[in-house]
Amino acid sequence: MGLYSTMRTSASGMAAQANRLGSVADNIANSSTTGYKRSMIEFASLVLDSGGSEYVSGSVESHTRYMISEQGSRSFTTSGTDLAVKGDGFFIVSDESGQIFLTRAGSFVPNGLGELVNAAGFKLMGYSLSNGPPAIVANGTAGLEVVTLNSLAMKATPSTQGSFNVNLPLNSDVILPAASPSANDAAAQYTAMSSLTAFDNVGNELTLDVYSTNLGGGEWEITVFNRADAAPGGGFPYASGPLSTQTLNFDPTNGQFDTASPTFVDVPIPNGATLRLDMSGSSSLAGDYELLDATVVNGSGPSSVERVEIADDGTMYAVFESGARLPTYRIPLADVASPDNMQPMAGTVFVPTSASGEIQIGFPGDSGYGTMISGALENSTVDLASELTTMIEAERNYTANSKVFQTGSELMDVLVNLKR
> Quick one: average pLDDT of 192-203?
93
> Quick one: average pLDDT of 284-302?
86
The tally of domains found in the chain comes to 3
Q: What domain range includes position 51?
A: 2-67+381-417
Helix (H, G, I), strand (E, B) or coil at 56: coil
59 in any annotated domain? yes
Per-residue pLDDT at 46 = 78
> Quick one: average pLDDT of 369-385?
94
Residue 1 reports pLDDT greater than 60: no
Residue 420 reports pLDDT greater than 70: no
Q: In which element (H, E) is residue 395 found?
A: helix 384-417
Q: In this predicted structure, which of 52-56, 258-262, 323-327 has the lowest mean pLDDT?
A: 52-56
Q: Which residues of 152-175 are buried (b: 16+ CB within 10 A; e: fewer)?
A: beebbbbbbebbbbbbbbeebeeb
Of 40-54, 314-328, 371-385, give the range with the top mean pLDDT.
Answer: 371-385
Strands 274-278 and 161-163: parallel
Residue 139 reports pLDDT greater than 80: no
227 compared with 292, residue with greater pLDDT: 227
pLDDT band at 118 (very low <50, low <70, confident <90, very high): very high
Per-residue pLDDT at 340 = 94
Per-residue pLDDT at 343 = 94
72 in any annotated domain? no
100 in any annotated domain? yes
Percent of the chain whose pLDDT exceeds 90: 70
Domain identity same for 403 and 326: no
Q: In this predicted structure, which of 140-144, 213-217, 286-290, 333-337 has the lowest mean pLDDT?
A: 140-144
Rg (CA), the chain: 37
Residue 4 reports pLDDT greater than 90: no
Per-residue pLDDT at 10 = 86
Q: What is the mean pLDDT of the chain?
A: 90
Per-residue pLDDT at 130 = 82
Q: What is the DSSP letter of 281?
A: T
Domain identity same for 8 and 42: yes
16 in any annotated domain? yes
Residue 138 reports pLDDT greater than 90: no
> Quick one: average pLDDT of 278-293?
92
Distance of alpha carbon 328 from alpha carbon 58, whole angstroms: 61
C-beta of residue 215 within 8 angstroms of C-beta of residue 177? yes
Domain identity same for 200 and 249: yes
Domain identity same for 165 and 250: yes
Domain boundary among 278, 302, 326: 302
Per-residue pLDDT at 52 = 63
Domain identity same for 360 and 388: no
Domain identity same for 119 and 211: no
Domain identity same for 186 and 230: yes
Helix (H, G, I), strand (E, B) or coil at 379: coil
Distance of alpha carbon 20 from alpha carbon 263, whole angstroms: 74
* Per-residue model confidence as pLDDT tens digits over 46-72: 777 666 667 777 788 888 899 999 999
Domain boundary among 302, 333, 355: 302
29 compared with 42, residue with greater pLDDT: 29
Domain boundary among 302, 333, 363: 302
pLDDT band at 416 (very low <50, low <70, confident <90, very high): confident
Domain identity same for 131 and 219: no
Distance of alpha carbon 348 from alpha carbon 329, whole angstroms: 24
Domain identity same for 51 and 83: no
Distance of alpha carbon 244 from alpha carbon 390, whole angstroms: 79
C-beta of residue 104 within 8 angstroms of C-beta of residue 92? no
Q: In this predicted structure, which of 64-78, 122-136, 205-219 has the lowest mean pLDDT?
A: 122-136
> Quick one: average pLDDT of 290-304?
82
Instruction: Name the E strands within 203-324.
Output: 205-216, 219-226, 244-249, 264-268, 274-278, 290-291, 296-297, 300-303, 305-310, 315-320
Per-residue pLDDT at 50 = 61
pTM across the whole model: 0.68
pLDDT band at 147 (very low <50, low <70, confident <90, very high): very high
